[in-house]
Chain A
Amino acid sequence: MSSEADEIGLPALPGRSGAVSRLMQAAGTHNLSLLLALAVLVAIFGGMRPDVFFLARNIENIGQGIAILGVLATAQTIVIISGGLDISVGAVVGLSTVCIALGVEWTNSPTLAILFGIAVGAAAGLANSLIITVGGVNAVIATLGTMAAFRGVAFIVSDGQSISIFNPVFRMIGAGRLLGLQITIEVLLLVVAAFYVLMRYTIVGRNIYAIGGNPVVARLAGLNVRGYQVGVYILSGAAAGLAGMLLAARTGSGQPISGSDGLELQAITAAVLGGCALTGGKGTIVGGLLGVLILGVLNNGMILTSVPTFYQMVARGALLIAAVLVAEQQARRYG
């Protein structure tokens, strides 16, 4: 967060005041730098592969590529703002794809199957939240443990097999269009819009900022800190369930192994890039979305420019560390 506004001593804007708008002002400068970084990436990859990069098809590819990550990263942003962390989301995505595939097999109803996948994700989030709030286990350790456990459950219920989904609705969701735009991207936009309103315009959202900012203060001010924490992890689980639906639709199958390729790492990277402080209380949905866009362009660009897969992994890890380093520097400077 930049504190330029404070240093210049800007007067309060009439009609727009309070922490949320302060955060928006501050995140505004942060988001500008994210947009700048995005422009640099586009310039680099566009310059290297001008023949392919700017094709509508490629831009749609980028959109497709970030839809799943976008849902996870904006949910992760909320978790981090609340002062937590959810490493288990990748495993929940895999579990959700399996449950949805099984749901289609059992009921032949895509709606029921999708609801089932989201409900399983929410239940996984509830389990996380109880371990963290009632058990008092550190969120990183708790979700690291459940990450392995949820992955195991996905293998158990699927018997380790990939389960194909033969249902036109899923093909429609995975590859179809509505009003000219790909449905996966529309789902992402809906989720982001809902999260944006939640964090920006509701009491629940501002209280999530408060409990992340200082849970002791929040409790003594009368907020139900545990209740909010439980809710946030359920939200994160349900969002992972929804991301599993998108993945199942795209691959036409439920695979227990899916989501294990570092999805949680990328979600956390995007959130931190977007301005989240891992100590909680700070961050924005818009920032998280911009973080996802940067990651998406980076992934796409590295493929287009034939960066070997292993080097791509190194680049993604380095990006997370770099994002945290920058955030730490800013925190130290502006405290």
Chain B
Amino acid sequence: MDLSAIDPVVLIASLMVAATPILLAAIGELVVEKSGVLNLGVEGMMITGAICGFAIAVETGSPTFGFLAAMVGGAALSLIFGVLTQVLMSNQVATGLALTLFGLGLSALIGQGYVGLKPPATGQLDLGPLSDIPVLGRILFSHDLVVYVSLALIVGVWAGLKYTRAGLILRAVGENHEAAHALGYKVVRIRLMAIAFGGACAGLGGAYLSLIRVPQWTEGMTAGAGWIALAIVVFASWKPVRVLLGAYLFGGVTVLQLNLQAAGLAVPVEVLSMSPYLITILVLVIMSADRGRAALSAPASLGKSFHASS
């Protein structure tokens, strides 16, 4: 085994890339859950975003259109969930599962003609001399635009939830929808907007997988990334900055195990491939073992249906 082939600087730079899809999906889901809705369909929205983005990018030749289409696709799919759970008051757990199953089928259907194609390349953002700084330049200033968008989203969601009126209303709806309703806030409308935002983020994350990280289309290519995003929201105790931490931790594990596979570590490939899932479970256990905190930080109305009875 040759561990010296693993360059820590490249490792950190590539873990940021590996973490970005999950980071995007997780920050979207965080907003959804903060509004009191549990959308288990992240995996389905991600994979739909992946194929929508891929298809449009290939057809138009522009990755930018691809990313936009992925956001629209993810949001559109999430609104199916939104209408079912918010207007028709269906069970959120079951509907989220349905969204995942449907998304996997739909994406495979759309993606039939796109297997084996190469998407147009997304360029790095040109940051001029900044990229030439040793070490820091490679880690911080030589990524594509979406990585920076994901980081900006974390900051934006954190500030938005903490300092703006809209964020306060969103949290109020998530903590106690009856009280928010009594104050005259449109609970259903606010939740639908949050759900669409979550869908757009998940779609963008999916497209990042198919257009930049992999980059090609294969059926079921998200391989549980959406579920890991859900786990990261729990890990983060519904705090945006910790989502960043969780996603990068997970990205680190993923990249490290891939590097170890390439370096020929004397551990079966399957054990390395399952390690991200096992570590996610482990982290979930550690987080939930702390009884008081897990119960306190979850939005109080999470997963409950709201019906304005007069």
Q: Do A and B bind each other?
A: no
**Interface set of A (CB-CB < 8 Å, partner B):** none
